[in-house]
């Protein structure tokens, strides 16, 4: 059994991670400032309310938590907003991670799993993005994530802080029991926006550009079930037991779906009509982002349990029909 500090544990992916850690017999301490997360999503361990930007408080929180490892989710998440407000993204995502590493050093903690992103790759140079793809982000969000990865690469030999960066493609879906789910304010992500629309909570959906270099002109993404992402984090923690240093894995199903295909999946699952209109492209959006997940499969033994887009949307829809927060 391990005792794990989860930054951003009140958020979407973080709360699913806490649930999975507890189910596998691990102890959890949530570190979250509740700026984006939800108090009601903290159910599997105590909450230490603390901002990553408050370095002394963070350092104290980690010392008090007495954990063996950190899983680091806390951060700002909207690519479009990062283009409009880069300072916010560098401060929270890079500055916050810098403080976290310093606090881990102070607390003598030596294992970290970091939420990285496919956004570090920028415009893809190959159809299926593997770990050898050049890191060349095109948004401040992606650049901030890439900078944290560089920090971790340097910190491993210098301080003996071993780390795994997991580059998520598009996290989606919810816990099948619908106890927790995805709830952002404002909501920028495609699937929850579509589900709020068909639930009558918001107006028509805007499709950001139908003139991309893809078969139907809309952007292609690789949607991964949130619980499958969490399974990879557990495997990554175990990997660090026998493999010190810095490691990185791309986490996707290797299947790409266009925005129009996601609209069709939402219609198929909910039986409801989607009103969508084409709008301008969103700044910082590559046309296609699809993973080659071979390395995560081979090295971590990661085999997603819910790869089907409709099954992913179905779990998200269960949550959206009766969200608890």
Nearer to ligand UDP (CB atom), residue 130 or residue 206 = 206
Residue 141 annotated as catalytic: yes
Measured from the CB atom, the residue of 28 and 207 that comes closer to ligand UDP is 207
| 226 interacts with ligand UDP by CB under 6 A | no
Residue 264 tokens read as 């069709």
The residue within the footprint of ligand UDP, chosen from 206, 210, 261, 294 (CB under 6 A), is 206
In this chain, which of 190, 266, 269, 290 binds ligand UDP, going by CB under 6 A? 190
Q: Which of 141, 168, 208, 257 is catalytic?
A: 141
In this complex, which beta carbon is closest to ligand UDP, that of residue 90 or of residue 208? 208
Which residue's entry shows tokens 């033994």?
301
User: Does residue 312 bind ligand UDP (CB under 6 A)?
Assistant: no
| 282 binding ligand UDP? (CB under 6 A) | yes
The angle, 0 to 180 degrees and rounded to 10, between the axes of the packed helices 309-321 and 259-270 is 60
- Nearest alpha-carbon partner for 115 in 254, 6, 242: 6
Return the range that interacts with ligand UDP (CB under 6 A); candidates 7-15, 106-114, 185-193, 264-272: 185-193
285 binds ligand UDP (CB under 6 A): yes
**Nearest distance from residue 10's CB to ligand UDP, in Å?**
20
Contact call for residue 208 and ligand UDP (CB under 6 A):
yes
Residue matched to tokens 């409801």: 272
Tell me the closest approach of the beta carbon of residue 24 to ligand UDP, in angstroms: 28
Closer residue to ligand UDP (CB): 5 or 289: 289
222 contacts ligand UDP (rule: CB under 6 A):
no
Burial class (CB in 10 A: 0-12, 13-18, 19+), 282: middle
Q: Is there binding between residue 115 and ligand UDP (CB under 6 A)?
A: no
Closest residue to ligand UDP, judged by C-beta, is 219
60 to 99: interface string for ligand UDP, x by CB under 6 A: -------------------x--------------------
**C-beta closer to ligand UDP: residue 153 or 189:** 189
What's the number of CA atoms in the CB half-sphere (13 Å) around residue 63? 11
141-180 core/surface letters (b: 16 or more CB in 10 A; e: else): bbbbbbbbbebbbebbeeeebbbbbbbbbbbbbbbeebeb
Binding segment for ligand UDP (CB under 6 A), chosen from 15-23, 56-64, 205-213, 311-319, is 205-213
Residue closer to ligand UDP, measured from CB, 153 or 272: 272
Q: Which of 17, 219, 290, 292 binds ligand UDP (CB under 6 A)?
A: 219
Q: How many residues interact with ligand UDP (rule CB under 6 A)?
A: 15
Cβ-based nearer residue to ligand UDP, 162 or 182: 182
- Tell me if 196 contacts ligand UDP by CB under 6 A: no
Residues found near ligand UDP in the complex (CB under 6 A): 79, 170, 188-190, 193, 205-208, 219, 221, 259, 282, 285
Catalytically active residues, by annotation: 141
């Amino acid at each position: 059994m391990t005792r794990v500090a989860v930054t951003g544990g009140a958020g979407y992916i973080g709360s699913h991670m806490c649930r999975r850690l507890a189910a596998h017999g691990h102890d959890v301490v949530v570190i979250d400032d509740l700026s984006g997360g939800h108090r009601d999503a903290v159910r599997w361990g105590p909450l230490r309310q603390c901002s990553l930007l408050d370095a002394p408080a963070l350092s104290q929180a980690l010392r008090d938590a007495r954990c063996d490892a950190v899983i680091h989710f806390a951060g700002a998440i909207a690519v479009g907003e990062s283009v409009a407000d880069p300072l916010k993204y560098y401060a929270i995502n890079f500055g916050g991670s810098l403080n976290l590493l310093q606090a881990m050093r102070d607390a003598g903690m030596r294992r970290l799993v970091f939420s990285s992103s496919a956004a570090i790759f920028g415009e893809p140079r190959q159809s299926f993005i593997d770990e050898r793809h050049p890191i060349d982000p095109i948004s401040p969000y992606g650049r901030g994530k890439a900078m944290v990865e560089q920090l971790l690469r340097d910190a491993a030999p210098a301080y003996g802080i071993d780390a795994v960066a997991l580059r998520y493609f598009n996290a989606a879906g919810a816990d099948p029991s619908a106890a927790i789910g995805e709830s952002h304010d404002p909501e920028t992500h495609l699937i929850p926006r579509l589900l709020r629309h068909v639930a009558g909570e918001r107006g028509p959906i805007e499709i950001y550009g139908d003139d991309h270099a893809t078969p139907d002109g809309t952007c292609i993404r690789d949607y991964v079930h949130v619980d499958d992402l969490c399974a990879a984090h557990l495997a990554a923690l175990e990997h660090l037991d026998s493999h010190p240093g810095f490691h990185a894995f791309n986490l996707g199903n290797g299947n790409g779906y266009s925005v129009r295909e996601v609209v069709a999946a939402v219609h198929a699952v909910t039986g409801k009509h989607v009103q969508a209109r084409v709008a301008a492209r969103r700044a910082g959006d590559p046309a296609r982002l699809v993973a080659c997940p071979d390395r995560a499969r081979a090295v971590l033994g990661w085999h997603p349990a819910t790869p089907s887009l409709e099954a992913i949307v179905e779990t998200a829809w269960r949550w959206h029909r009766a969200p608890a927060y």
